[in-house]
Amino acid sequence: MTLREHLNQFYKTYNIPAEGGVNDKTFEVPLPLFTLTLPNFPWRKRMLYVHDLEHILNEQDTSWTGEIFIASWEISTGYYKNFPVIIFPLWTMGWGMWTHLNTVFSAFRKGSTDKGIARLNIEKGKILDMDLAKLQSLTLNHRQRTRFSFYIRFVGWGFISQVVFLSPLLFLLLLLFIFFH
């Protein structure tokens, strides 16, 4: 079964629009108290299939736990080089640090030895034509890190994810300070 077929099954299983909604003008983020609708930015559209393949590669669903796992894994594999897309995984990892810390930690640990799909530099058509076993062989266990460097990276990226996650609140507090000062 090709990765294209896996993706189509993934979209069907989780009731996701064709091609992950890449052709939609907006996308929705279901938060605990409300649903946030955001523009489907061109840079998000370009990387959407990679994110969805990462769910398949890591056997993660589209629940918040699955999204937090994938976001943390992405950051650990070097996905941060894909600016501005990295904003979404950083925000999600930041949320996960409050709600699913064990998931963040295990995903970051797994990602610290993996090579991310985005870093393979293989064109979309070629990736989608390969099978899952081939993708696994290209991504899994390519790096070894010392325990010390892992913890330094985890704390560093954890801090950055908190800044991104809390930035709307920090911005609001700054406005209130300016307005009432």
The secondary structure of residue 84, as a DSSP letter, is T
pLDDT in tens for each of the 181 residues of the chain? 999 999 999 999 999 998 899 999 998 888 878 888 989 989 889 889 999 999 999 999 999 999 999 999 999 998 766 677 788 899 999 999 999 999 999 999 999 989 999 888 899 999 999 999 999 999 987 667 788 889 999 999 999 999 999 988 888 887 777 888 7
What is the reported pTM? 0.89
Cα–Cα distance, 154 to 88 (Å, whole number): 17
Return the SS3 of 168. Answer: helix
| Residue from 8, 11, 12, 38 nearest 25 by CA | 38
Residue 35: the pLDDT is 87
The ranges assigned to domains in the chain are: 3-180
129 close to 1: Cβ distance less than 8 angstroms: no
Residue 97: the pLDDT is 97
DSSP states of 25-56:
SEEEEE-SS-EEEEE--HHHHHHHHHHHHHHH
Return the SS3 of 93. Answer: helix
Residue 147: the pLDDT is 87
87 close to 75: Cβ distance less than 8 angstroms: no
What is the number of other CB atoms lying within 10 angstroms of the CB of residue 142? 13
| Residue from 74, 16, 15, 76 nearest 47 by CA | 74
- What sign does the CA torsion over 4, 8, 9, 14 have? positive
Residue 180: the pLDDT is 81
Contacts 24+ apart (CB under 8 A), 11-16: 11/52, 14/61, 14/62, 16/52, 16/62
Cα–Cα distance, 99 to 102 (Å, whole number): 9
